[in-house]
Structure 1
Amino acid sequence: MAAAAMEGSANSRVGISSQELLQEVKAFISGTDPVQGHKLTVKEHARCGILLLRNLPPARSAVLEHLRGVFDESVGSYILELEREGTPAGHLGSPGLDDVTQEIQAVLSEFVRSNPKAWAPLVSGWSIDLMGQLSSKYSGRHRVPHASSLNELLQLWMSCKATRALMEIYVQCLSSMISTCPDACVDALLDTSVQHSPHFDWVVAHIGSSFPNTIISRVLSCGLKDFCLHGGPSSVDPLLPSSADQRVPKIASVVGILGHLATRHSDSIKQELLLMFHESLGPGRDPQPQHQEATVPFLLQLAAMSPALLGAVSAELVDSLKPPVLDQLHQRFSGLGREEADNLLGLLVHLVCQSGAGAHRVLRFLLETAAPASVITSPGLAVRDSVREACQRVVQLLLLHLQRLVYGRGPGGPGDPQARSVPFLDGLKGRLPELCREALRPECKRHPWQHQLLGLLAVYCGPSWAAEALCQLLALASCPEELALAGQLHSALSSSVPGLVPATAGRCVARLHSAGPQARRLLLNLASLVRGEGAAGLAEALSAHAPQLGRLLPHGDAGLSGGAALLLAALPLPPSLGPAQLLGLVRAATSRFFLALRRGWADQASAGELLARLAASSLPALRAVLRQLVASALHPGNASLFGGKPARPAASPSSSSSSASSPGDSLLGVNREFGAAVGFGGVWAVFHAGVIGRGLKPPPGRGLLPQAEASGNAFRLLALAVRCSGGEAPGHVSAEAAQAVALALVEGLCPDVTASELAWPPEEQARGTVERDLQIRNRFQDNPLLFSLLRLVALGPPALCYCSVLLRGLLATLVSHWEASRHLSTTSSPWQLHASCELLACMAEGQLLPPTLGSMHEIFHLLTPFEVRLLLLSVWAYLRANGPLPQKFSFDSETGRFYRDFSRDGDVAKCLEVLHSVLHKNIDRLGHLYGHFQL
């Protein structure tokens, strides 16, 4: 038989005689030309088979089997050509077979087109199986990409004309059957995928991209049938979901095909899966009821084997689980046997653990559905008791399974790269604020579940996450019951998470600097815990952050600064607190106390308690606290708190340093200096009517606090000073504390005078300090608190000795005033009368004057100004003769106080002569007091 005749017969359906057909059969079987007797080439043999395929239908199986070898040799030549790329063409092993493969494709395409019902199932199965065999056979060749490189593998095989012809044949068969019976083609696809995966995945990817909707729906349908055929729900293994492919062969192929399609057709897959789920719960449409019953287990099994599918449908599936759907599910599976039900629940728990992106939504749904009926639930979640009990069992099993996963991760812990991840916990660890808020909700039944989950997350995520969780709970707790939940979580984690308390303290302190309601609540909750029992570890951890907490004390937010003061007052001072840090805390606490007074806050006690605690820590701390209190009280900005007036302008340029001016008034101060030194006239005086940018000066007395409020502020300050001094009003004040107040007074009123100027000068020498004495008098006149501070100093003798310069200046100005006074009564100068009485009372209390001399102020209001001047001069003479020196005091070990023995100072009677003379002169009015002033 001539080769040309064979070639011509292959290209047209031309009838041949029986004898010629018999010869073709013999040639096909023997592989030799019956006429010429030579061996047929591959092309000639293939074309002989094509002729038989056209004219002898019973031979089609044998011919198709033979044609497998033709495609195999063509693919082998293609791979060999790739491996020998760059060699001369003459060295290739065999000629190309592209033309004959195209002829085979043309013949088969014609058969399918003319009679699809008969030829499409046969040809589709043959082509898809052949592509699977070829893919597996040549998968190990050098130039064939790995199966994981799907795009490269697809490009390689679609560049081969033989495999591309097979693909086009299969696509034509599928197109012809898609409207009648596509299951045959899809079954062949699944069967081949089972045998040759993953090398066959490129075929699945290409076909799925060409027919996404058909492939997705039919693949799921065929997978469901195979799932029912191999046992349905009983084939589910909750502990090893991947083992299902051993009992249900096609399910792995279903997962693989859908996984390939998920990158471009995720929405179609999602819709098809949800459609299957809802149709399985509706009225029976499937002629086989077991398919409906097995749909949900089948979908669960698919999701367990493919995280991509699980992530695609989890969110929408949870949203669709309304009470009617839950009732249908419960009715559908309530009749399962115990083993099957346990397997199904185990698989469901496994799926929840594998859900990552929608973990929080799933958790919220489970907790809201499992919540008791007595609890107020969200709208639309009122379910039956049977459904609620089933959901409670799921929650309990989920927590138990998570516990095994978390504590069974190996000795490496969360940082171990070999540790197995839990997607559910990974999806929740970024939702810490929501988890903490939900854990503090009023549903008591949910508290154990939420706290157990928070504890597992803390162990899973490590100490940093655990510390943040505790910090969040402390910031959100709004009542003692909620605050106790944070303590319960700490108790559960204390043995599992090392260093939890110090880490939590650091997180809390860092969080406090973001002002807001949570920061205020966090401070109060921390203070409550520290002041309670069993929080020693927390107190010690927070004490290490005392300097950072101190920065919150001057904050303008009353709740924030008050909470910081309350917390710091309950903390022990850390041993590592240096002098600079201690001074910073003292300044911050003092600033907070005066801020509370200025703004009328009712919680000055917290700052006072902190200052008292700081003062009790050491003697340097006591001195720092008292000095800071006095310095702040003397500041011009705080004078009005105690009924005082703003500081007066300096009398001359030389005294500008002693005049306290508010910040930002340097230009005004310079102007006032020159204005005091040189008498400018004209428009220059207009400047002193006010301050640029601040308006006119307020009239005298305007803006002062009411007397009762000013007196209350003064009492609070003095009570705090006494408390810091270690005494209780009106009890004594320690000598060290009183000395600290005295030195602060001198420094604040006369910063250019040292505390060593204690000796009392002669009256003539005092004339050289007139300017300084006037400044002292003005400060006392403008600030009534100063006399109260002097009385406080007097309570701790011999501290008043260090205020000698103040006493001299005040006494000298009072003597000058009474000398120049032309009034008939001292009551005409009320402030001078008050100052004279207060001065003598302070010196008597401080034991600078003997009792008789120190009590003569009691009759000042009954005398004339000249007589008062005489009495004050006698006081001056006594002090000059018996200077107020600390060396004159002795210490009494029994009382723990210093005292002065006036009998050692000589004859005191000489200093009383003037007093007795005044009494004699006014015997008619003061005679009954004469005996009171005898030694």
Structure 2
Amino acid sequence: MLKDQTMSVVLDGSPLKAMQSSHTHTAQTALSGQELSQEIKSFISGIDTVQGRKLSVREHARCAVRLLRSVPACRGAVLEHLRGVYDEHVSAFLHNLETESDASSGVSSNLEDIIQEVHGVLSEFICLNPRAWAPLVSTWAVDLLGQLSSKHAGRRVAPHSSSLNELLQLWMSCAATRSLMEAYSQSLAAMLSWCPDACVDALLDTSVQHSPHFDWVVAHIGSAFPGTIISRVLACGLKDFCSHGAKEQGLMVMVGDKGSRVPKIGSVVGILGHLAVHHSDSIRKELLRMFQESLSPSSPLSPTSSSTSWEGSPQLRRAAVPFLLQLAAMSPNLFGAVSAELVELLRPPVLLQLQALLQGLPREELDNMLGLAVHLISQSPSGGSRVLRFLADTATPASVIISGPTPSPHEGVREGCDRLLQMLLLHLHKLVFNRSDGAEVNPHHPALSQPKRLIPFLEELQSHVGELCAQTLRLERKRHLWLHQLLCLLSVYGGPSVATEALCQLLTQAHNPEELALAWQLHTTLSSCMAGLIPAAVSRCVAQIHTHTLGPRQLRQLLLNLAAAIESQDGERRGGAAAGVQASMAIQMGSAVSGHLHDFGPLLLHGDSAVSHATVRLLSCSPLPRASSPAHLLLLSRAAVTHFFMGLRRRVESGKVGRDGGQACEAVNCSVVLLSRLAAYSPLTLKAVLQLLVEGALHKGNTGLFGGQMADMSGAPLPSASVSRDIGASLLDINCRFGTVVNFSGSVWSVFHAGVIGKGLKVRTETQLPDPSGVMQNVQTLLTVVVQCCSSSGFDGSINSSRPPSDPGEPLAINAEAAKVIAVTLVENVCPDVANGGGSRTPGPLLLLSRAPRPPGHPAGPLGGLPGDVVHRRPVAPPGLLPPGVLHGGGPAPASGPGQRARGLPPPHPLRGETAAPGRVGVRERQWAHAPEVCLQLRKGAVLQGFLSRR
């Protein structure tokens, strides 16, 4: 009976050709019939038929090798026996490593030559007849590798399964496993041209059974054949996915119960995950190619195409998209690798193809796919903003102008994206409000508390709050509702920091009341779970101002929005109880802004007039704080007064050029309100505002606003800088170089203030007189603000209001202390000598003395009996005579007192001037005199002339 079985194996028709080829190639191993019969009996019984003893492991293995060479039909039995030989070698190899003995001794050394001989025989057969031997050897080798990896995974010298590099080094140093790996690689290379699926199927089956101990094999094979393994693993996984789905519910995709329904998809995920470390680009391209191929119309297979290619099967093409969704759900890394390019790939034609593909699916299966897509989006760690923008753009209804009366050709696509977006918002709402809070779970043991579950989609969107707010403010149909709801969820998920950033962005970017209302809606939604949101948002806005992150246009819009929020309080009060919530928010906004008045105050002097106008509007309507630093109050008062005069000047300039002066007039009105409220705040601010107003009105830079003109020492109006030409001469510079320039000996010198020698006299230009109506308006505005400040109740404790008269026709009551402040300030600025009479007098301007020709008829004798080289000083220059500062003295005359003209003295002579009073103190030649006007005379007919110096 044994002989019959042996002959049937020998005469098997399928391996006969390989057997004959092997005999012709290795004639030296040919055995006779009797020897062949003895080898078969020895292999089956394990006993040497000649000597009658039991064969050793090495002898039994060599007998199997001889049978494999001589009778290839025995390959199944021989390969099964060789499993034990390989296992024996691996056990000895690991034992030697554990005992730290010499790896070249013992059983391992006796079996290693057998392993090499077996590998040589198998390699030879694969080369001679790959179609017969490659599928068999690949399946045997990969299955044996899986068994050996799982069996010896618990050995002490075996690394952990997660350490792929260490595992790979260990197993590749073993002759048995290295031989099996090389045999499988040779078989796979031989089958690539005609049937790679059989080899990859064996790899997937083994990976399912022996993962994760088998992962090192997958990593090594994938690195050797990346392109082939990736494409064939996906194809085999698709076929298995389709077959398992068809058995129960068609192509239904389920997130749970993956292992029982789709057994190979887990192995596909594992293999691609290992390959993604070094071949992520190839995986991404193959996944996108599978998606595109599944949507394109099917075509007949080309002669070069594989008969097992999935592209030719309509059933597999319909299952490709659900398969890819399932694959992405099981591996977030794979989804993250393709999500960015997948969104760019979903153009209108592709969306139409996808819609056509999914139309034939049952309703329940389609709902499952949408749920899986929502789950994928919410768990996507990157590209969330791009996915959100795509869904919002696609789901937004087309305008009437674009679509017209006929339905849009993409209406089905729009409805699908609309439904997907609504399901996403609902899913995110459940995730945000159902997260476990560790503090509530275990309040007594914080170390054991569980952190809140992360939502990758919202985590990625936290860095795009500004962009999300900008998209929300577009106020497009349905779009801003979706994005506003998402903004609320993101604020709740991210906490106060994200909520503050979102509210600050809305306050900065809103351009009209409708857009600004979205900020109040966000606050209304978040106020139930967050406190102090408005003060935090205002503080963040102030921080943006300090860091100069906002441009002038954005800064202006932010200030106007804050002002509009505070001003809405008055309108809401008139609106009744329905506007009570928004009125309370306006009160909170005003209170928050009042705490940062010292931060907004410097913006009154901003170089951009629009920013300064927005600032004064905000400060004029915001309440003043209950308590504030005196330094902050004084700085704010100075900035407000300076802005007031700047506003008057801009109003005049807008009237000259014919522009619309509405904004300038509004800025002046807001300045008046702000100054009135500052004056009513406290005695300190009242005094500061009034002093600054008087000083500003008397300042030479503001004389033109109230009808005055700037004049030089001679009383002539100064030309504007744009009219006068620069001759390169400065009287101040010349006076500063007195010792090197002025020479009193020699010829006559020119009069400095009249011109420069060689360049002629100064050109007298006609100055433009100010507009009388504008001057009158400015004077009236100045008087109005002064009267309002004087009539304010700053001295009786009121903070944020002025006290109006009981009768509208009755003039405002002037505060006595305020009037005193104005009087004192006027005296200090107009008559400093009187104001400072009790103290030391500040030295006045200095006089530089030089020689000039004596006018005709001028007396040569000294005046008043004083020496001839003494300069007589007078306090006031006579009007209508020579220019101020140059007075020619006359004869001596009696006087009733120092500096006074005698009674009955005739009027001053038109040429000689007024008679000098005797007994006055004078200065000598080449000295500096402290007086604004002088009467000068020297002997020998020379008259000294004085010039004001700014030293």
User: Which TM-score bucket, shorter chain as reference?
Assistant: 0.7 to 0.9
Partner of 1:340: 365
Residue 484 (structure 2) pairs with residue 451 (structure 1): yes
Residue 52 to residue 755, structure 1, CA distance change in 2 (3 Å): same
Amino acid of the structure 1 residue aligned with 2:523: H
Unaligned 5+ runs, structure 1: 1-7, 652-666, 759-769, 783-811, 825-935
CA deviation profile, 1:805-828 (whole Å, cap 9, x unmatched):
xxxxxxx9999999986799xxxx
What displacement does 1:219 show?
0.9
Residue 593 (structure 2) pairs with residue 579 (structure 1): no
What displacement does 1:757 show?
7.2
Secondary structure, aligned partner of 1:553: helix
Partner of 1:635: 699
What displacement does 1:563 show?
1.2
Secondary structure, aligned partner of 1:146: coil
Amino acid of the structure 2 residue aligned with 1:257: I
What displacement does 1:10 show?
13
CA RMSD of aligned residues (A): 4.1
CA deviation profile, 1:549-571 (whole Å, cap 9, x unmatched):
11211111111111111112222
Partner of 1:411: 437
Secondary structure, aligned partner of 2:453: coil
In the TM superposition, what are the counterparts of 1:822-901 in structure 2 within 5 Å? none
Residue 105 (structure 2) pairs with residue 41 (structure 1): no
Secondary structure, aligned partner of 1:46: helix
Partner Cα separation in structure 2 for residue 245 and residue 818 of structure 1? 128
**1:366, 1:395 within 8 Å by CA — same for their partners in 2?**
yes
Partner of 2:521: 488
Residue 688 (structure 2) pairs with residue 624 (structure 1): yes
CA deviation profile, 1:444-476 (whole Å, cap 9, x unmatched):
311210100111111112211211111111111
Residue 721 to residue 444, structure 1, CA distance change in 2 (3 Å): farther
Secondary structure, aligned partner of 2:525: helix
Amino acid of the structure 1 residue aligned with 2:81: H
Partner Cα separation in structure 2 for residue 433 and residue 459 of structure 1? 16
Partner of 2:499: 466
In the TM superposition, what are the counterparts of 1:628-777 in structure 2 within 5 Å? 628-646=692-710, 699=764, 702=767, 705-726=770-791, 731-751=812-832, 753-754=834-835
What displacement does 1:296 show?
0.7
CA deviation profile, 1:843-883 (whole Å, cap 9, x unmatched):
xxxxxxxxxxxxxxxxxxxxxxxxxxxxxxxxxxxxxxxxx
Partner Cα separation in structure 2 for residue 429 and residue 376 of structure 1? 35
**1:650, 1:672 within 8 Å by CA — same for their partners in 2?**
no
Q: TM-score, normalised by structure 1?
A: 0.73
Residue 234 to residue 298, structure 1, CA distance change in 2 (3 Å): farther
Partner of 1:389: 415
Residue 686 to residue 822, structure 1, CA distance change in 2 (3 Å): closer
Amino acid of the structure 2 residue aligned with 1:491: T
Secondary structure, aligned partner of 1:142: coil
Partner Cα separation in structure 2 for residue 776 and residue 507 of structure 1? 64
Partner of 2:3: none
Structure holding more helix per residue:
1
Partner of 2:387: 362
Partner Cα separation in structure 1 for residue 400 and residue 909 of structure 2? 85
In the TM superposition, what are the counterparts of 1:199-218 in structure 2 within 5 Å? 199-218=213-232
Residue 130 to residue 11, structure 1, CA distance change in 2 (3 Å): farther
Amino acid of the structure 2 residue aligned with 1:619: P
CA deviation profile, 1:4-58 (whole Å, cap 9, x unmatched):
xxxx999876221233223223333343433344543333222111112222334
Of residues 29-38 and 619-628 in structure 1, the stretch that sits farther from structure 2 once superposed is 29-38
Partner Cα separation in structure 1 for residue 118 and residue 753 of structure 2? 113
CA deviation profile, 1:780-837 (whole Å, cap 9, x unmatched):
x99xxxxxxxxxxxxxxxxxxxxxxxxxxxxx9999999986799xxxxxxxxxxxxx
Secondary structure, aligned partner of 2:604: coil
Residue 623 to residue 253, structure 1, CA distance change in 2 (3 Å): same
Q: Out of 392, 395, 400, which is 2:426 matched to?
A: 400
What displacement does 1:485 show?
1.4
Of residues 359-368 and 262-271 in structure 1, the stretch that sits farther from structure 2 once superposed is 262-271
Residue 326 (structure 2) pairs with residue 294 (structure 1): no
Partner of 1:141: 155
Partner Cα separation in structure 2 for residue 497 and residue 138 of structure 1? 58
Q: Out of 588, 594, 599, which is 2:645 matched to?
A: 594
Partner of 1:21: 36
CA deviation profile, 1:327-357 (whole Å, cap 9, x unmatched):
2322322233332121111001111112232
Residue 71 to residue 699, structure 1, CA distance change in 2 (3 Å): farther
CA deviation profile, 1:103-131 (whole Å, cap 9, x unmatched):
11111111111111111111101111111
Residue 562 (structure 2) pairs with residue 526 (structure 1): yes
Q: TM-score, normalised by structure 2?
A: 0.72
Partner Cα separation in structure 2 for residue 431 and residue 496 of structure 1? 23
Q: Out of 544, 549, 568, which is 2:600 matched to?
A: 549
Residue 385 (structure 2) pairs with residue 371 (structure 1): no
Amino acid of the structure 2 residue aligned with 1:620: L
Partner of 1:432: 465
Partner of 1:319: 344
Q: Out of 182, 196, 204, which is 2:210 matched to?
A: 196
What displacement does 1:261 show?
2.0
Percent of matched pairs sharing the same residue: 54
Residue 348 to residue 627, structure 1, CA distance change in 2 (3 Å): same
What displacement does 1:175 show?
0.9
Partner of 2:719: none
Partner Cα separation in structure 1 for residue 899 and residue 237 of structure 2? 110
Q: Out of 289, 292, 296, which is 1:278 matched to?
A: 292
Partner of 1:563: 614
Q: Out of 273, 276, 283, which is 1:269 matched to?
A: 283
What displacement does 1:545 show?
1.3
Partner Cα separation in structure 1 for residue 904 and residue 312 of structure 2? 122
Amino acid of the structure 2 residue aligned with 1:616: A
CA deviation profile, 1:72-103 (whole Å, cap 9, x unmatched):
23223333333344x56699775463322221
Partner Cα separation in structure 1 for residue 514 and residue 242 of structure 2? 53
What displacement does 1:222 show?
0.7
**1:722, 1:733 within 8 Å by CA — same for their partners in 2?**
yes
Q: Out of 329, 344, 350, which is 1:304 matched to?
A: 329
Residue 139 to residue 643, structure 1, CA distance change in 2 (3 Å): farther
Partner Cα separation in structure 2 for residue 820 and residue 478 of structure 1? 75
Secondary structure, aligned partner of 2:603: coil
Amino acid of the structure 2 residue aligned with 1:519: L
Partner Cα separation in structure 2 for residue 683 and residue 442 of structure 1? 82
**2:435, 2:452 within 8 Å by CA — same for their partners in 1?**
yes
Partner Cα separation in structure 2 for residue 610 and residue 198 of structure 1? 76
CA deviation profile, 1:416-441 (whole Å, cap 9, x unmatched):
97222222212222122221111111
**1:590, 1:628 within 8 Å by CA — same for their partners in 2?**
yes
Amino acid of the structure 1 residue aligned with 2:421: V
Partner Cα separation in structure 1 for residue 237 and residue 777 of structure 2? 86
Residue 354 (structure 2) pairs with residue 329 (structure 1): yes
Unaligned 5+ runs, structure 2: 1-22, 300-310, 441-445, 570-582, 654-663, 716-729, 793-803, 805-809, 840-871, 885-897, 911-951
Partner of 2:724: none
